[in-house]
Structure 1
């Protein structure tokens, strides 16, 4: 039986919070790099473990396959409770944790399926594609604003003074377009938490390798209060 996890993912993609969680847990893993937005040849690499041909997918050491980023993150947090990456069942914060872990993929992450390949919904009309990109960007910003209003951080991070997989999730998804400046404008409290996740010493090498802050993703402002 294999002893390592296998992550089907790509730098800068939805596999990054999964990889970050495994890094914090200290579980060995390898990545099958498959940037699916580059075309069918990459999506076909994922097809054997995910019929949707989407990232991420996780193959456990026991040979079980998990898909859907939120499900993988919740599962990892439950499998490794000593890592304290999520409130346990019965914890007063558990409901809040599950609500927002589901909100991110349902309301925000889902917008990137048409954004990655606008012709999926807008056809080959450049004007229609531009409208789709603009409206999905507005939807993403509106959803971050809802989360900002409804979720007050409980400490340095969203659920207390210990980082959770929810923090990892927002830190990665908020880096995608319409990019961090827009995110900080509509969700400054969430933005402060995201910067604290960016600054975790135990993830410094990981961020540099898997999602460096450079070019369009630059976010050099200091962490408020730290």
Structure 2
């Protein structure tokens, strides 16, 4: 069977999909599309499979296309339950897992769309928009920190894809130093998750020291 194909950029949102693929031991081909957000060959290759021209975009061996990281995580978890990327459907932590996974992609992730390109959304107030989005994202992380228990992982009992999100997204604004100072539980989770054998090579490749 042919490998999966991941369109992405090192250190960007495609790292979430790359981490999930590595976690489940799924072979894949990586198509580097750096510069996809401006006209050029990379953008054209990406648009051919995802008209929104966003990463991650993952093409399954049968040609099916997944364009949302949460969908990628859930599909890979279905295909590889032994990897424990997600709790099984009858697990008591399943509801919390689903709620927090969708929170990452519906509440936190969109802030990067507006913060990374503020001039697109508020050309006359780009700096002000960036400042407000930064402050809002920090408030989201503080809320999440306050909901965590005392366990070593987001769900407390064992690692899951939620910890994959924490460790990758903590490399983005407001970045690791802020998490260490303001969200120590999330910071500890991030450090533990990036040391997992299934994630360590992915983290080193995408966020070299």
Q: Verify same fold: TM over 0.5.
A: yes
* Superposed displacement of residue 179, structure 1: 1.1
Map Cα deviations across residues 74-120 of structure 1 (whole Å, 9 max, x no partner).
21112110101111102110010001101111111101112222211
Q: d(CA) in 2 for partners of 1:105 and 1:184?
A: 22
Query: Where do 1:143-162 residues align within 5 Å?
Result: 143-152=140-149, 155-162=151-158
Q: Could you tell me which runs of 5 or more consecutive residues in structure 1 were left unpaired when the two chains were aligned.
A: 215-226
The normalised TM-score by structure 1 is: 0.85
Instruction: Please say if 1:141 is aligned against 2:138.
Output: yes
What value does the CA root-mean-square deviation take over the aligned residues? 1.7
Q: d(CA) in 2 for partners of 1:83 and 1:40?
A: 39
Map Cα deviations across residues 132-190 of structure 1 (whole Å, 9 max, x no partner).
1111111111111111112325x322224432111101111121112112223332111
* Superposed displacement of residue 60, structure 1: 0.7
Q: d(CA) in 1 for partners of 2:207 and 2:155?
A: 24
Aligned length: 208
* Contact preservation (8 Å) 2:163, 2:190: yes
Q: d(CA) in 1 for partners of 2:154 and 2:97?
A: 9
Q: Could you tell me which runs of 5 or more consecutive residues in structure 2 were left unpaired when the two chains were aligned.
A: none
* Contact preservation (8 Å) 1:144, 1:186: no
Number of the residue aligned with 1:200:
196
